[in-house]
Amino acid sequence: MAMKIRLARGGSKKRPHYSIVAADSRMARDGRFIEKLGTYNPLLPKDNENRVQMDMERVQYWLGEGAQPTDRVSRFLEAAGVVGQKTRNNPKRGEPGKAAQARAKERAEKAAAAAEAAAEAPAEEGAAAE
């Protein structure tokens, strides 16, 4: 059985509250799970100790049984020091979108044209003064 440690959503509309659960990976996100391991409340501030609560002993047990944490849960476990930090690489994350790139290119062309015009203007004035 392929086990996952993942989030199961609860709470009302626009007021999410998640349970950290050990579940069979074939079950639905909010469906049947084997054991509740903790809670996650994203509405609390990031420095609040009640934002993420986990029963570390049971989490360690399920990790020992071969359960794979999802990306979000693995981040919680990394912050708690249970698992080592994974290297993540998303090089496109910091890049601006197509429209922003076009605007930046347009601005650079205008700046280059203005610099050329400014460089030519003093040379013309010097020739006219002679």
Mean pLDDT of the region 83-107: 84
* 3-80 CATH fold: S16 Ribosomal Protein; Chain: A; (3.30.1320)
CB 78 within 8 A of CB 70: no
Give 29-42 pLDDT, tens digit per residue: 888 889 999 999 99
Q: From CA 39, how far away is CA 52, in angstroms rounded?
A: 6
| 3-state secondary structure (DSSP) of residue 35 | strand
What is the number of residues in the chain? 130
Give 76-90 pLDDT, tens digit per residue: 999 888 888 877 777
- 62 strand-pairing partners: none
Mean pLDDT of the region 6-22: 93
Write down the pLDDT at residue 122. 67
Write down the pLDDT at residue 22. 94
Mean pLDDT of the region 17-26: 92
Could you tell me the pTM of the whole model?
0.66
